[in-house]
Amino acid sequence: MNKRKIAMLHLLLNAGEIKTNQSLITQAVQKAAEKGAEWIITPELAVSGLQFTKECGIDWIQQQPNEWMSSLMEVAKSSAVNLFIGAPEKDPEGELFNSVFVINREGRLIGRQRKRSSVTDDWSSSGGHLEPLTIDHVKAGILICADSYTKENAVTLRDKGAEILIAPSSWGPGLHGPNGEWEARTIDTGLPMFVCNRTGEDETVTFWEAKSLVIEHGIHLLAHHSRESAILLFDWDFDKRELLSTEFEVEYII
């Protein structure tokens, strides 16, 4: 049986306030682990916020794992949890990427997905290839925010064996807000999707009504938006590809 408690961290992030965001992520990860979560997912660019460059520039971006990411690896090991962490990174050649890092329950950084789309990320390079990562015997494909915009990326992950789609996002409603893309990708691929979104606001984007979602066959099985940071917990059977919860268990972070 492969039944797991999942936590999506629907966080109120502050653009450019790196240490504040890091502290919030660490606190939320620890609380989610205490609530029994085994997979913990953050939004896109949880460390920096989406529109961070005017606030703090890009010189602070480091190769990963840096000191803070290494501390999360220790948390993952001590709590036996798997983490999906959204953060900017620099590669050894100096290129910058919008990435999601996957840390397993042994505290090892087992892989990363770099965002391919750069709709609003003029500081980052395209991430190139897509490859599912295996966590707890499940092949998970990661679609970072606008990488869900067309079906190509999702279908590629499915064809490479993905059994679930994870979508760390910073995508608020409005003129260029989500308009059925996530739902369409579950129909295109036949795969369920966990969308971990955020709340708050950046320079030109607001997320107060942005939703974190569990979607299958184009249908919202679970949905949440809030003006406060929240841990969204639910149970999922990976063998049967079945939601075991009737609603999110919501733990607000004050």
Q: How many angstroms separate the CA atoms of 206 and 6, rounded?
A: 26
Q: What pTM did the predictor assign?
A: 0.97
Which residues are bridge partners to 168 per DSSP? Answer: 196
pLDDT of residue 119: 58
For residue 11, the SS3 value is: coil
For the chain, list residues with pLDDT below 50.
Answer: none
pLDDT at 120 (0 to 100):
57
Please give the DSSP secondary-structure letter assigned to residue 208.
Answer: T
Contact 202, 45 (CB under 8 A): no
In this prediction, residue 73 carries a pLDDT of 98
Question: For residue 121, what pLDDT is reported?
Answer: 61
Residue 174: what pLDDT? 82
